Amino acid sequence: MEIKSCLGFFQQKVVGVNALAKALSGQKDEEFFAVSAAAQASRKSSPRVTDEAAQKAAAPLKGSDPTTTIGSFSETPELKRIRHEFKDKNDGWGATKGRDLMTEYNLL
At 43-85, the pLDDT tens digits run 888 887 788 888 888 888 887 776 666 665 666 788 788 877 7
**Pair (48, 80) in one structural domain:** no
pTM of the model: 0.41
**Pair (1, 33) in one structural domain:** yes
Domain span at 4: 1-52
**Pair (81, 44) in one structural domain:** no
**Pair (87, 41) in one structural domain:** no
Contact 32, 42 (CB under 8 A): no
**Pair (1, 35) in one structural domain:** yes
Give the count of domains, the chain. 2
| Average pLDDT of the residues of the chain | 76
Beta-carbon contacts of 90 under 8 Å, excluding residues fewer than 6 positions away, are: 96, 97
Beta-carbon contacts of 103 under 8 Å, excluding residues fewer than 6 positions away, are: 95
Contact 102, 108 (CB under 8 A): no
